C-alpha cells in the first residue's frame, strides 16, 4: 500500500457516519487538574488505568472511530499487557496522537499566542507511527476581543498548521488541523463568526501554499458561539446557522470531514449544538465531533479513581458516545439524556 492509499484508508475509517473521535490527549497539567476535581492523584499508574478504562469500554467502536492519545499513552499497556493503541484498534478505533508542544506568547503581538513543535516533527512521527498512530493533531488557539486576534497571529498559526499537515502527509499520517477560536471573554456570537471566518480563510490559503492534499486532511474547528461572559447566549438553532454559514464560506468541498471541538461547552450543550448543526441539511463534508471533556466529564465523575466504579464509568462513556453519534446524523433527542447510561455492554 503506497502512502496515498494509506492516508485514504485512515480518512475512510475516521469519517464513518454516526461516529466521532474521542480526544484523550490531555497534557500532564490538564489531566492533573481534571483528576484533582474528582479527588484522584495524577500518577502515571492512575493515568494508565483511566485511559485503559476508556479504550476498553465494550461497544465503544460502534460510536467512536478514532482516539487522540497523548505521547505517554502510546507506550502504556492494559492490565493484560496489550499496548493501549492496540486496545483501541481491537474495536476498530483508529489510534492518533497529539504532536504539538503547546502554546507560547507570540512575539510582537501582545495577547496573541503561537503553537510550538515543528522542530523534529518528522522524526517523532516515524516513532509514533511504529507505535500504532495513524493520524495526528495540532492545536492553534486564537484569543478573541475587539482587537484580537491580530493579523500576525492569524497568519503565523495558519502557516504552522499547514507546515505540520504537510509533514504528516509525507510520513503517511493523516493530519487533523485544529484552529480553536477560544470561548473565553465577553465577545458576541457575531464577533466569533467574524474571527472564525478570518481564521479559516487564512488556514486554507496556507494549506494550499504548502501543497497539502485536502482529501487526506481533517478539520477540528470550534463552533460559532458567544464568549462565556457574554450576557446573550444564542440558542442552538442560531449557533448552528452561524457555524454552517462560516463553514460554507471558507471550506473547500474536497475536505472529507469536520470534527468539532467542544471548547468549554457542557456535555449536553455540545451534543445539542452538534445535532442542530446537522439538522441544517446535507453539507459537502461530514460534520462530526472530536470531544474531550464533553465526553469524559461524566466518566471521571463516575470513576473517581476506584476500580469498583469501572463498569459505571464505561457506561457513562458509552452513553455520551451514543448520544453524540446520534447528533452526528441529526437524530438526537433530549429524551435520550433522561434515559441515562444503561450499561457498557449494551
Q: Are strands 113-115 and 103-105 parallel, antiparallel or unpaired?
A: antiparallel
Question: Has residue 88 been placed in a domain?
Answer: yes
Phi-psi region of 210 (alpha: psi -120 to 50; beta: other; left: phi over 0): alpha
345, part of any domain: no
pTM for the predicted model, two decimal places: 0.96
CB atoms within 10 A of CB 90: 12
Q: 114 lies in a domain?
A: yes
User: Residue 309 sits in a domain of what CATH number?
Assistant: 3.20.20.70
With b meaning 16 or more CB within 10 Å and e meaning fewer, what string describes 291-327?
bbbbbbbbbbebbeeeeebbbbbbbbbbbbbbbbbbb
Does any domain span residue 39?
Answer: yes
**Residue 344 within a domain:** no
For residue 346, being part of any structural domain is answered with no
Number of domains making up the chain: 1
Which structural domain, as residue segments, surrounds residue 153?
Answer: 3-339
pLDDT confidence of residue 338 = 81
Q: Nine-digit cell at 116?
A: 510550538
Q: What is the pLDDT of residue 345?
A: 34
Which of 74, 135, 114, 156 is CA-nearest to residue 257? 135
The set of cell numbers assigned to 9 is 484508508
Residue 90 lies in a domain: yes
- Per residue in 274-297, pLDDT (tens digit) is 999 999 989 999 999 999 999 999
What's the pLDDT score for residue 138?
Answer: 98
Active site residues: 178, 220
Q: What is the pLDDT of residue 343?
A: 42
Q: Which residues of the chain have pLDDT under 50?
A: 343-346
Contact indicator for 311, 343 with CB cutoff of 8 Å: yes
pLDDT at 346: 32
Amino acid at each position: 500500500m503506497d502512502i496515498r492509499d494509506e492516508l485514504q484508508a485512515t480518512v475512510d475509517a475516521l469519517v464513518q457516519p454516526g461516529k466521532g473521535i474521542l480526544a484523550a490527549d490531555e497534557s500532564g497539567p490538564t489531566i492533573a487538574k481534571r483528576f484533582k476535581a474528582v479527588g484522584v492523584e495524577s500518577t502515571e499508574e492512575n493515568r494508565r488505568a483511566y485511559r485503559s478504562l476508556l479504550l476498553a469500554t465494550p461497544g465503544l467502536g460502534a460510536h467512536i472511530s478514532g482516539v487522540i492519545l497523548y505521547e505517554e499513552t502510546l507506550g502504556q499497556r492494559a492490565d493484560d499487557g496489550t499496548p493501549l493503541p492496540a486496545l483501541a484498534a481491537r474495536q476498530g478505533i483508529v489510534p492518533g496522537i497529539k504532536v504539538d508542544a503547546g502554546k507560547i506568547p507570540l512575539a510582537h503581538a501582545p495577547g496573541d499566542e503561537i503553537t510550538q513543535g515543528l522542530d523534529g516533527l518528522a522524526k517523532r512521527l516515524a516513532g509514533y507511527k511504529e507505535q500504532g498512530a495513524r493520524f495526528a493533531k495540532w492545536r492553534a488557539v486564537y484569543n478573541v476581543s475587539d482587537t484580537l486576534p491580530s493579523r500576525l497571529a492569524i497568519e503565523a498559526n495558519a502557516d504552522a498548521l499547514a507546515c505540520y499537515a504537510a509533514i504528516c502527509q509525507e510520513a503517511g499520517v493523516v493530519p487533523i488541523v485544529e484552529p480553536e477560536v477560544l470561548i473565553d471573554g465577553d465577545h458576541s456570537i457575531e464577533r466569533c463568526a467574524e474571527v472564525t471566518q478570518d481564521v479559516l480563510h487564512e488556514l486554507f490559503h496556507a494549506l494550499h501554499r504548502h501543497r497539502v492534499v485536502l482529501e487526506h486532511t481533517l478539520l477540528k474547528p470550534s463552533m460559532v458561539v458567544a464568549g462565556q461572559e457574554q450576557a446573550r447566549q444564542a440558542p442552538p438553532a442560531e449557533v448552528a446557522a452561524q457555524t454552517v454559514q462560516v463553514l460554507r464560506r471558507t471550506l473547500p468541498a474536497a475536505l472529507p470531514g469536520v470534527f468539532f471541538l467542544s471548547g468549554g461547552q457542557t456535555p449536553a450543550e455540545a451534543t445539542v449544538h452538534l445535532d442542530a448543526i446537522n439538522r441544517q441539511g446535507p453539507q459537502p463534508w461530514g460534520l462530526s465531533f472530536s470531544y474531550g471533556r464533553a465526553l469524559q466529564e461524566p466518566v471521571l465523575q463516575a470513576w473517581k479513581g476506584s476500580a469498583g466504579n469501572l463498569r459505571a464509568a464505561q457506561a457513562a462513556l458509552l452513553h455520551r458516545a451514543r448520544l453524540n453519534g446520534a447528533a452526528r446524523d441529526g437524530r438526537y433527542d433530549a429524551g435520550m439524556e433522561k434515559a441515562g447510561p444503561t450499561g457498557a455492554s449494551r
